[in-house]
Structure 1
Amino acid sequence: MSTESLGSLALALLLLVAGANLLGLLAVRLRQPRVVGEILAGVVLGPSLLGLLAPQVAAQIFGDGDKDPATVVLGFLYHLGLLLLMFISGTSARNVLSRENRRPTAWLLGLGTVLPFCFALGVASILPLGAFMGEARSEAAVILVIAIAAAVTSIPVITKIFYDLGILHTRFASLMLGVAVLEDIVLWGFLALATAIASATVAAGGQAVAGTVAVHVGINIAFVVLGMTVLPRLLRRMSRARWNVVARQSPIAWIIAVFLAYVSVAAALDVTLAFAAFLAGFAIVGGVDGTETQRLRAPLDAIAHVSGAVFIPIYFAIVGYRLDFTQGFSPLMLVAFLVGSTLVVVVSIGVAARLAGFRGLDIVNLALTHNARGGPGIVLASVAFDAGIISAPFFTTLVLTAVLTSQACGFWLDFVLRRGWPLLATEGPVEQRPPVLGSAPAPVHPT
């Protein structure tokens, strides 16, 4: 890279990091999820505004082609931010399932997730899928993505909303996080299936090959099973081994090494990288005991804080940068998907919550929180778009749906708490515990 290229890249990173953090803080001040401001920063810097007003300036700063050095580096940072987001989300998949929540979790997961997924599968099969399909031209993959998008719930965003509102210690928070963790594990498995189908379709020149898909699915299933059973125990033994001086002397380096190893192996096996990063985070905390967890908490917090201040905001800003409202936006598609999927989720969670023994305001709180698509909804859109499964208008629809549903969740819970209403009737009035400056909960994500 020339000095001029390095200077342009440094300026691009400055604008992305500073813009995402400043607008993220502004969003928090306005009682909105921070991810809203981070995405808005990308929209301002992207083709919807800066690229429209000063296209030559935008091209010089952010690159104007696939082989442009700035484009290549920003593309790498985009994927790194995505992988770190999923890794940190995976580290939250522990200690969120208490005994009192097992029955309601089963109902909320069994009906609240399955019904929207199955309903979307049925509806998607009769839609004009041409408007939703990307370059892979795979109807089966598009149908799966639509179903996942209708059912997904955000672990990182609702965790941060709970943290900011001082309710992370409540039973309501542990219940919702437990459901979200189990749900996302299942739905990421379906996304791996969708990407496998798309890959097989592209390889076969537009005709999906059953044998190729079966191999992809088998490899993904094996990776998931090993990643949730054998590998966490293996990592625990490796981290305690006397020969492992890296784990003892530099826990951050050990954690990053595990993260990169998962991603590298997944890439070699053609497993969805974002899902592999999630499993890496799960394995880091899932294979250790209480003492080991305390030893790893500071390194994990350090990684989360740096990622949350730099790499993850860059990811969300680039997501916003890729939103081109001048070309890839369909208001009708957005309204139809947002309203339709929200109604299905709210009704499904309402039925599940009632069968689990909840009533009244409890059901409303659970339904609106479960409907927050947040980070996973955006990750789903990014992975599906990069794999050529979905079109640009549907990518924009999924990202905006994730943002709007997360805004609705944060606004409603803040309203309930300000009115002094309980989140769950069995808990009574909530004692909010504001975060202490300089501290962070175990499952942290700054967006």
Structure 2
Amino acid sequence: MNQIHFALQVFAALAVVLAATTVCGRLAMLVKQPRVVGEMVAGVLLGPALLGAVAPGVQAQLFPADVKGTLYVLSTIGLTFYMFLVGSSLDHKLTTGPNARRASVLAVSGIVPTFLLGAGAAMVFFDSLAPQGSSLWVFMLFVGGALSITAFPMLARILQERGIANTPIGGLTLVAAAIDDAVAWAFLALIIAVGASGSPGGALRTILGAAVFAVLMLTIGRRLLAKLGERAEREGKLSRDAMAVILLVVLVAGWFTDWIGVFSVFGGFITGLAMPKTAVLRHELETKLTDLNSILLLPVFFAFSGLNTQVSGFGSGGRLWWQLAVVMLVAFAGKYLGCGLVVRAQGFSWRYASAVGGLMNARGLMILIFINIGLAYDLVTPEMFAILVAVAIVTTAAAMPIYRASLPAGMDLQPEVKPAAKTPARPAA
């Protein structure tokens, strides 16, 4: 009977989460925001920010501790497969060719200034916002790394919807965001290895384990998985058995990377990178995995994030407001100015520089994944977690308004590039 009651509780929680994220997602789209912004807001509203304040008894009944534990498991599975889809969607050809060097410079210009500013803010707020007994360097690395993220999957959807993914500015931004994310997950693996292992030997085991896993998966694993891609191309579809193999590989990869202390999303992401980039396989994966993952499992993650977002520090005393203002300014300025100035220096107009700066500021779901992992490993306090959730929502919501203001409709298809300087004609001899 207890199991039946618990199952009913889980179903009720899932129903509420699905309804809230769907409604808020639709509302976000009505005001010309990406759906993910509304879903992020819905997760926060289900937590102490609204439901816990207005109806604490209802929230306690909907999300007791054992139900939260189930939501954590479901969200971890959803995140692992989400990161697998992110990795599988990255086109290896994007990292080659004439656009790759400029995109790499753009990625660095978004990562380095934001990381340094974020680490500086973390140093200032270490005494008030760092977990008890944590290392200053680990806290600085984590906050700087979290603020350096750009939401590659969301950017890809925005650019495709606008029809500008294949324009010079769209391709440049997309490649830079992909590089940002790859660096961020490698960096997070390093932070967890150093900050959560508890000993130098444990950190070394984690780092070596992650490195060996990545090398094996991207070499031997890629060659073995390529056979699935070839078979899918021949048959024009992905068979049930082949899909089962892929799911098994992702689950085992997630289990292994979690076991060595890097978290399961790293295993999902590396497995995605190792997948063949054939058209049929990519279409089959998106068709069979995306809907269930994005409609049900990821909203569970948003709700779980919201339940962990403590807003008491923003109350009457308001002790967190100025820390939030500083972190928000650092997060926005590092990406917007760093990326914008580099785009301008590469020959694009100020309008395009502003548009790219705004888009690269969108952190979306990626930063939420990053900071939830940090919270699970006690790398951040609930107060710092709440600040970073607010940064995630605001910077993501600001991306499209900045883009539209910088490039009104029609301009995004006609890139303005500064003309090359003319070489003066040499006088005739």
TM-score grouping bracket, smaller chain normalisation: 0.7 to 0.9
Post-superposition Cα deviations, 1:296-350, rounded to whole Å, max 9, x if no partner, equal 4123322112211111122123222322223478221211011122212222213
Match of 2:103 in 1: 105
Task: State the 1:149 CA deviation.
Answer: 2.1
2:180 is matched with which residue?
Answer: 183
2:290 pairs with 1:304 = yes
TM-aligned CA distance change 1:58 to 1:118, over 3 Å: closer
Alpha-carbon offset, residue 46 of structure 1: 1.9
Q: Per-residue deviation at 1:398? A: 1.3
Aligned residues with identical type, % of pairs? 25
Residue 231 (structure 1) shift: 2.2
Letter in 2 for 1:316: F
Q: Structure 1: how far apart are the matches of 2:389 and 2:160?
A: 23
1:396 aligns with 2:409: no
Q: Secondary structure at the match of 2:99?
A: helix
8 A contact 2:44–2:302 mirrored in 1:
no
1:380 correspondence with 2:370: yes
Superimposed CA distance per residue, residues 240-294 of structure 1 (whole angstroms, 9 cap, x where no aligned partner): 689xx9964444323322211211221232223222211122222xx35x4xx32
Give yes or no for the alignment of 1:338 onto 2:328. Answer: yes
Determine the C-alpha separation between the residues in 2 that align with 1:424 and 1:135.
53
**Equivalent residue, structure 1, for 2:35:** 34
How far did residue 154 of structure 1 move?
Answer: 0.7
Letter in 1 for 2:292: V
Amino acid at match of 1:317: A
Give the structure 1 partner of residue 7 of structure 2. Answer: 6
Q: Residue 158 of structure 1 aligns with which residue?
A: 155
Paired amino acid for 1:366: V
Distance in 1 of aligned mates of 2:158 and 2:390? 18
- Residue 194 (structure 1) aligned with residue 185 (structure 2): no
Q: Taking structure 1 as reference, are residues 55 and 264 closer, same or farther at Cα in structure 2, changes over 3 Å only?
A: same
* Equivalent-residue separation in structure 2 for 1:21 and 1:281 (angstroms): 27
Q: How does 1:37-436 map to 2 (within 5 A)?
A: 37-63=38-64, 65=65, 68=66, 70-94=67-91, 95-97=93-95, 99-121=97-119, 123-124=120-121, 126-134=123-131, 137-201=134-198, 209-237=199-227, 248-284=239-275, 287-288=276-277, 290=278, 293-327=279-313, 330-416=320-406, 418-422=408-412, 425-426=415-416
Query: Is the contact made by 1:384 and 1:390 (CA closer than 8 Å) also made in structure 2?
Result: yes
Give yes or no for contact 2:106–2:176 (8 Å, CA) kept in 1. Answer: yes
Specify the code of the residue in structure 1 equivalent to 2:131: G
Deviation digits for residues 169-227 of structure 1 (CA, Å, limit 9, x no counterpart): 433222212111122111211111111122223xxxxxxx3333233222223333333
Gaps of 5+ in 2: 419-429
Between the two proteins, the alignment pairs up a number of residues equal to 409
- The offset of 1:392, in angstroms, is 1.0
Query: Which has more helix, going by share of residues?
Result: 2
What is the rounded CA distance, in whole Å, between the counterparts of 1:419 and 1:268 in structure 2?
Answer: 49
The one of the two structures with greater contact order (alpha-carbon pairs below 8 A, sep at least 6) is: 1
Counterpart of 2:174, as a letter, is L
How many Å separate the matches in 2 of 1:33 and 1:49? Answer: 22
Q: Distance in 2 between matches of 1:45 and 1:110?
A: 36
RMSD over aligned Cα atoms = 2.7
Q: Give the structure-1-normalised TM-score.
A: 0.83
Letter paired with 2:273: F
Residue aligned with 2:110, SS: coil
SS in 1 for 2:347: coil
Whether the aligned pair in 1 keeps the contact of 2:123 and 2:136 (CA below 8 Å) is no
Q: Residues 108, 327 of structure 1: CA spacing in aligned structure 2 closer, same or farther, 3 A cutoff? A: same
- Computing the radius of gyration from Cα coordinates, the structure with the larger value is 2
TM-score (norm 2): 0.86
Deviation at 1:417, TM superposition (A): 5.1
Alpha-carbon distance, 1:98 to partner = 5.9
> Residues 112 and 345 of structure 1 are in contact (CA less than 8 Å); yes or no, is this contact kept in structure 2?
yes
Over 3 Å counting, the alpha-carbon distance change for 1:83 and 1:130 in structure 2 is farther
SS in 2 for 1:113: helix
TM-superposed deviation, 1:422: 3.1
Distance 1:241 1:415, change over 3 A: closer
Take 2:56 and 2:118, find their aligned partners in 1: how far apart are those partners? Answer: 39
